Amino acid sequence: MMTWNTFTLQDSNSPLMEQLSYFHDHTMMILTIITILISYLILSIMMNQLSHRYLLEGQTIEIIWTILPSIILIFIAIPSLRLIYILDEINNPMISIKTTGHQWYWSYEYSDFKNIEFDSYMLPQNENISQFRLLDVDNRITVPFKSNIRMMVTAADVIHSWTIPSIGVKIDALPGRLNQINFFINQPGLFFGQCSEICGANHSFMPIVLESISPNFFLKWIINFS
């Protein structure tokens, strides 16, 4: 069944994604106003053969269409720069997870705990009983919600990209380099993503599944895993 989420951004599940959605709506409003205004001017010129004579040598209109785009760019640039700084902000993480991209699966290591590491492979279609084709995995990342999570991402072979759209996270996994990103999940649930960098023949078959649970259940999960 097709829903509005098919055509728009996914629902925000983190403060970062909320800010990205607000910026998207802000920019789209400005672009819509510009499109309507320009379309009106073009149609008015096409329908009125005499209107173009005022545009031959007009210093006033030259000033207007130089200053007006500059003001519009300021209204777009200031929120954009603010958002860039928010995305780069590093808070004190409660949990650190190291993610390594392979051809073609992900491996995870909980750096704050001993002996908690596992590989995450996509479930074969004949074993996948959920409704999410090519998205579910055998071992999900489990994190507590309403906690600062630090994800350190690298790759073992080629360039990958660890991406979960609903929480606004997309970070490249580069061989020999350790990138990091922070995120904060608002609520419990399952969040799906995929590798966003073409990394070989099975690029489409290395999904990401993050499960957000309450801190109490997370402690029980840690104890049971150990």
Asked if residue 127 has pLDDT above 80, the reply is no
Contacts 24+ apart (CB under 8 A), 27-31: 27/76, 30/72, 30/75, 30/76
b/e burial code for range 19-57 (CB count within 10 A of at least 16 → b): bbbeeeeeeeeeeeeeeeeeeeeeeeeeeeeeeeeeeee
Asked if residue 154 has pLDDT above 90, the reply is yes
pLDDT at 161: 92
Q: How far is CA 218 from the centre of its chain?
A: 24
pLDDT at 59: 75
Dump the DSSP string for 36-92. HHHHHHHHHHHH-TTGGGGGSS-HHHHHHHHHHHHHHHHHHHHHHHHHHHHHH----
Q: In this predicted model, which residue has the larger pLDDT, 58 or 105?
A: 105
What are 26-48's pLDDT values in tens digits? 899 999 998 998 898 788 777 77
pLDDT at 226: 67
Tell me which H or E stretch contains 109. Answer: strand 105-110
Mean pLDDT confidence for 41-69: 73
Residue 49: pLDDT band (50, 70, 90) is low
Is residue 153 exposed (0-12), middle (13-18) or buried (19+ Cβ within 10 Å)? buried
Say what the pTM is: 0.76
Alpha-carbon distance of 110 to 124, in angstroms, equals 26
Tell me which H or E stretch contains 179. Answer: strand 179-184
Please name every residue paired with 193 in a beta bridge, in sequence order, or none if there are none.
208
Mean pLDDT confidence for 184-188: 87
Give first-to-last CA distance, the chain, whole Å.
41
Give the three-state DSSP class for 5.
helix
pLDDT at 98: 92
Give the three-state DSSP class for 95.
strand
Percent of the chain with pLDDT strictly greater than 70: 89
pLDDT at 102: 92
Alpha-carbon distance of 96 to 117, in angstroms, equals 12
What are 66-104's pLDDT values in tens digits? 888 888 889 888 888 888 887 777 778 888 899 999 988
pLDDT at 1: 41
Q: In this predicted model, which residue has the larger pLDDT, 23 or 91?
A: 23
Angle (deg, nearest 10), helices 15-47 and 59-88: 170
Mean pLDDT confidence for 191-198: 89
pLDDT at 106: 93
